[in-house]
Structure 1
Amino acid sequence: MKKLNLANKLTLGRILAVPVIILLLYFPTKVTCLIAMLLFIIASLTDLFDGLVARRMGMVTNFGKFLDPLADKILVGSVLIMLVELGWAPAWVTILIIARETTVTGLRAIASDMGLVLAADRFGKLKTVIQIFALCPLLLHFPWFGFDPRQLGMIFLYLALAMTLFSGGNYLRKFYSHWSEHQGADAA
């Protein structure tokens, strides 16, 4: 088996950060929550860097194309689930976000089987950024210097939910359009 390239190592690092973040949150104190948030930010930034490294250094692989979006979903989904477990985020929001992520992943798999590519669009990328901005203050949880980050986190979480559902609908529309064209080509 070939050695993993730098881009794929960064992506795997994002996945490997998840158990550490969860463990830190399992014993929530100001310090563990701060460390969990900082680790979450670092892990989130690897999403930017693994793509840049892969494209600029010619390290794009099928493994990386598969692993990168999966790592994002594992990171965000795990943190959301842990926040629900701690009572710091509503379960229904987490369910809708994870359902959208699972649906889009399924649509991408079906499209791929049809020879089509449903690439991430600007709405999907914006959704990810807003999710990260929402989770950071929610991870901090405790008041800091008289500021309670939870209210800001909840505002961003509802914005993230709206963008998540909107971008999911956009993927459904694109998939249906490609699928309709594909069905028409098969009939001809």
Structure 2
Amino acid sequence: MNTANKITIARILLIPVFILFFPLYPDWLAQKADFIQHIDSYGLYYASAVFILASATDKLDGHIARKYNQITNLGKLLDPLADKLLISAALILMVSQHLVYSWIAFAIIAREIIINGIRIVASSRKIALQADQYGKIKMVFQVAAIAAVLLNNRPFSFFTDIPIDQILMYAALILTLYSGYNYIKNNYRILE
């Protein structure tokens, strides 16, 4: 297994760590365990750090794969899957804590499932579909929006009362829907 694929797998393995740090523990457990009390108080910061680290590995594994000619079929499968799992886990947990509207999470996750379905159909026909520029821009906005919401609009709240985190989330939603539309439009022939 090459370095790029190891980094992708590390990103997938960071998802349970992100979930562990997300403060979702019941009060009765938090009252009995100091570690859970600590997570309850500071977990969103730890979860945010893990989320940002995992997101950064997406750029790193792609760079290594291209620079050292380590592009593999496994990497083509795992890389977008890792992204979708990370974003979906974050959105689901955020909905559970009322940090983001459920309809926004549903729209983003539904787009990812639909695009993944198209990739599976293409793969069954021995066609490898790559993410386009809109998909890459969408991912950047999703990561920025999720990180900003997890950090309760920090660092923006130090400078302004404008809810930059929510603006980023709506921008991510719009880009997600547009990139999904564009991807389907450019690849619909595979479904025929």
Task: Please say whether Structure 1 and Structure 2 have the same fold, judged by a TM-score greater than 0.5.
Answer: yes
Q: For 2:174, which of 162, 168, 188 is the aligned residue?
A: 162
| TM-score (normalizing by structure 1) | 0.85
The 5 A counterparts of 1:28-43 are 28-29=40-41, 31-43=42-54
Q: What's the % identity of the aligned pairs?
A: 41
Partner SS for 1:39: helix
2:153·2:165 contact (CA, 8 Å) conserved in 1? no
Say whether 1:13 aligns with 2:10: yes
Say whether 1:72 aligns with 2:76: no
Say whether 1:127 aligns with 2:138: yes
The unaligned stretches of length 5 or more in structure 1 are 184-188
Partner of 1:23: 20
Say whether 1:152 aligns with 2:170: no
1:81·1:94 contact (CA, 8 Å) conserved in 2? yes
CA separation in 1, counterparts of 2:154 and 2:135?
Answer: 31
Deviation readout 1:82-107 (Å, 9 max, x if unpaired): 00011111000000100000000101
Amino acid at match of 2:133: R
CA separation in 1, counterparts of 2:171 and 2:78?
Answer: 26
Decide whether aligned partners of structure 1 residues 47 and 145 sit closer, same or farther in structure 2, where only a CA change above 3 A counts.
Answer: closer
CA separation in 2, counterparts of 1:96 and 1:175?
Answer: 20
Partner of 2:122: 111
| TM-score (normalizing by structure 2) | 0.83
The count of aligned residue pairs is: 176
The unaligned stretches of length 5 or more in structure 2 are 24-38
Amino acid at match of 1:24: F
Amino acid at match of 1:161: L
